[in-house]
Amino acid sequence: MTGIEKRFGPVTALDGVDFTLEAGQIHALLGVNGAGKSTLVKILSGVYTADAGEILLDGAPVALGSPRAAMAAGVAAVQQHPELVPDLSGVENIFLGHEGRRPGLFARIDRTAMQAAAERLLARFPVEIDLDRPVGEMPAVDREIVAVLHALRAEHTRILILDEPTSTLTEREKASLFAMMRALRAAGIAIVYITHRLEEVFEVADSFTVFRGGRNVASFTAAEAEARGVSIPELMLAEKAGELFPPRDGRPEGEAPVLAAENLGLAGCFSGGSFALRRGEILGIFGLVGSGVDELSKALFGALRHDEGRLLVKGRERRFSGPHEALRAGVFLVPGDRRTEGLTLTEDVVFNTTVANLGRASALGLLRFGRNRREAARLARETGLHPPALDRPASAFSGGNQQKIVIAKGLFRDADVYIFTEPTVGVDIGARAKIYGLMRALSRRAGVIVVSSDCDEVHGLADRTLALYKGRPVTAAPNRDGLLAAGIMGRAA
C-alpha cells in the first residue's frame, strides 16, 4: 500500500501512508486509538475506499472497492467483535451465506458438503475444536477460531486481518490462538495483527508497524527492535513513556465504608464475598473468565440479585431490584462489555453521556439541550475523547474512545461508588494511562472498585486487592495450573 490517504470531512485519518506485508508473515499494526490503524485495514478489506494512493498485490495494482472485491482478491478480516450466530453450530457459522445447495426441485442446504469442507479446513489448519457445538456454548477462544475459519473458508485467502483477537482471552486461550496463527503463517498466509497488548508483539509477530496521527512512523522486524532496544510506547506516544499507574494517595483512615459486602453470594456464580470500600481508595478484584468476578460486579449494581449475605451502601442494607435502584443509591457500573451493556451505539456522545442521569439532564420534563452539550463537551475534554465529535454516534468511535464515553456517562452521574469491570480491554497504552489517572482522581471523592482479569492492572492500580477463584475469595495465591499469579494478595497484606 503506497501513499494511502483518507479523509472524513475535515478529519485526516490517513496522510500518505505506506505499508508492506510479506507472505507467511505475522505483522503487528500498532498505535493509539485514532492513529489510523482501523482505517487502513478497512481500506485493505474493501470497507472504505482510499481518497488517494495505490494497493499492489504481487506487484500488480488492484481495486478493492468493496468487501466482496477484497475477498475475491484473497483478503479476509476478523473484526474485534465477530458477528456469529450463537444458536448455530461452528460448521454452520463458518459457512454462513455459503452453505451450498443440493440439486432438486426443493433446494436444501447441503450439510454433508459443509461437514466435508469443515474437515478439509481442519486438515489444513489443525486445531482442537468441536465444530458441531453451538457457538453460544463455546468458550471465547473457540468463537474466535470459528470466526478465523469463516474468514479462511475460501481456499484462495492469502491475507488475514485480525483486529484485537486476544482482548477477551485468558493466557491459556491466547496460547491456543497463537498456535493457530503460527500454523497459518506456516501455510504462507500473511496476517495483519492489530493489538494493544504490546507484550504480545515480541511473542508472536515477525515485524510491526507503528501508526501515529494517521502516518506510518516506524516499521521494524521484531528481532531488530529487540536488538536496538526500541520502545514501542514511545513511538506510539511521541514522548517518553511515563509511569502507567498513577501514584497512590494513601489509604483513608477512620472513614466509614461507602459500600460493604458481608458473605455475599449468588448460587452457581460466587459465594463468601466480604469486603469494605471507603472513599479515597481503589479496591481491586482479580479473577479470570469464569471465576465469578463479572457476576459479582453485576450483583453490586443490581443487574443480578444476590441470594446470600448482605450488601450495605453508606451503612444501609440494600437488595436492589435492578440497576435503577443502584443508580439512585449512588452506585455506578462501567460494564465489561461496553458495546452491549454500556452504550447505545446508534446515538451520539451527548445522549450517551447524559442518559444515566435524566434528572440532571432535564428540567420540568424537557431536556436541557444546550447545557447537556456543554457538559458533554467538558467531560469529553476531561476523559480525552478523540476526536471530541459530540454529534458522532458511539459506534463510529474506536474501542478505547467508546470506553471513555462510558466513563463520561459515569462522571455525569456523580455517584458515590464506581465499579469498573475490565476497564482497559481493547484500549491503547496512552488511553490506559489516562483512564487509570481518571480512576485515581475519582477515588479522591468516591469509592472505586476495579474488577479485572489483568493481574498487573489490579496490582498496579489498587490500594487493596481481593482474588476470586472458582467463585470463592482466596487469601493466598496458589499457582494452580497457572490460574493465579503468585503474590496477588501481597498488596492486601
| 201: amino acid identity, one letter | V
At 101, give phi and psi (nearest 5°).
-125, 140
DSSP E strands: which ranges in 314-360? 316-317, 331-334
CB proximity list for 363: less than 8 A, separation 6 or greater:
none
User: Domain extents for the chain?
Assistant: 2-237, 259-482
Q: Which pLDDT band holds residue 1 (cuts at 50, 70, 90)?
A: very high
pLDDT of 437 over the 80 cut: yes
Q: Residues with Cβ < 8 Å from 283, sequence gap 6 or more?
A: 275, 277, 447, 448, 449, 450, 462, 463, 464, 465, 466
pLDDT more than 70, % of the chain: 92
Q: Please state the pTM of the whole predicted model.
A: 0.68
More confident residue, 173 or 208: 208
Model confidence band, residue 427 (pLDDT cutoffs 50, 70, 90): confident
What pLDDT is stored for residue 480 in this prediction?
A: 34
For residue 150, pLDDT over 70 is answered with yes
Q: Residue 493: is its pLDDT beyond 60? A: no
Indicate the pLDDT class of residue 396, thresholds 50, 70 and 90. confident
Instruction: Outline where 231-285 has alpha helix (H).
Output: 232-237
What's the mean per-residue pLDDT of the chain?
87
Q: What's CA 342's distance to the chain center, in Å? A: 13
- At the topology level, CATH places domain 259-482 in Rossmann fold (3.40.50)
Mean pLDDT of 172-180: 85
Whether residue 158 has pLDDT greater than 90:
yes
Q: What are the tens digits of pLDDT across the range 363-389?
A: 988 999 999 999 999 999 988 888 889
Q: Does the pLDDT at position 482 exceed 60?
A: no
Q: Do domains 2-237 and 259-482 have the same CATH topology?
A: yes
In angstroms, the CA 90 to CA 84 distance is: 9
For the CA atoms of 117, 122, 125, 130, the dihedral, rounded to the nearest 10 degrees, stands at 130
Q: Range with the lowest mean pLDDT among 151-155, 329-333, 476-480?
A: 476-480
| Per-residue confidence (pLDDT) for residue 83, from 0 to 100 | 81
Cβ count near 163 (within 10 Å): 23
pLDDT in tens, 220-255: 999 999 999 888 888 887 655 557 788 887 767 667
Distance between CA atoms of residues 345 and 401, nearest Å: 12
Average pLDDT over residues 271-279: 92
Options 3.90.1150.10, 3.40.50.300, 3.10.20.30, 2.40.50.100; which CATH number does 2-237 get?
3.40.50.300
Rounded CA separation 473/272 (Å): 7
Q: How far apart are CA 176 and CA 138, in angstroms?
A: 14
The predicted-structure confidence for 34-76, as pLDDT tens digits, reads as follows 788 889 999 999 999 999 999 999 999 999 989 999 999 999 9
CB 185 within 8 A of CB 159: no
Q: What is the pLDDT of residue 153?
A: 87
**Residue of 281, 257, 219 whose CA lies nearest to 461:** 281
Q: Which residue has the higher pLDDT, 361 or 35?
A: 361
Q: What is the pLDDT of residue 432?
A: 80
Q: What is the pLDDT of residue 370?
A: 95
Q: Is the peptide bond before 387 cis (omega within 30 degrees of 0)?
A: yes
**Which pLDDT score, from 0 to 100, does residue 47 have?**
92
Q: Write down the pLDDT at residue 107.
A: 64
